[in-house]
Homo-oligomer: A and B are copies of this chain.
Amino acid sequence: MEDLRSAISAFIQERDWEQFHSPKNLAMALSVEVAEIVEHFQWLTEEQSQTLPQEKLAEIREEIGDVMIYLTELANKLGLDPVEAAKSKVAINEQKYPAELARGKASKYTEYT
């Protein structure tokens, strides 16, 4: 992660793009990049989405890269680390979705009662 953060910072500074990268704008850019992942899957069946041809996989890898870049940059700007935030959130989710209640159900935790 540290290497990635440095590479992103250098890339931004060399292009003088700091001025565009407010957290608000980065959140928008993040959503645009995620939509480019979704676009690859929108007309596929769930089954087809499990066995993608190599070419499509290579394209999706690039989109996942873009999402990770903006997520890292947004988090960094807010003084956060996405990997640490994810670990904390898994711990929170373990409380919100107790295994015995949640097993095999896709419902939201607010629907358990």
A interface list, Cβ under 8 A from B: 1, 3-4, 7-8, 11, 14-17, 19-20, 22-25, 27-32, 34-47, 49-50, 52, 57, 60-62, 64-69, 71-72, 74-75, 77-80, 82-83, 85-90, 92-94, 97, 99, 102-104, 106
Given A31-B38, A35-B31, A106-B20; A74-B64 close (CB under 8 Å): yes
Please state if B64 and A49 are interface contacts (CB–CB under 8 Å): no
Please state if B42 and A37 are interface contacts (CB–CB under 8 Å): no
Please state if B61 and A86 are interface contacts (CB–CB under 8 Å): no
A8 to B50, CA, bound (A): 19
A97: which B residues are within 8 A, CB to CB? Answer: 15
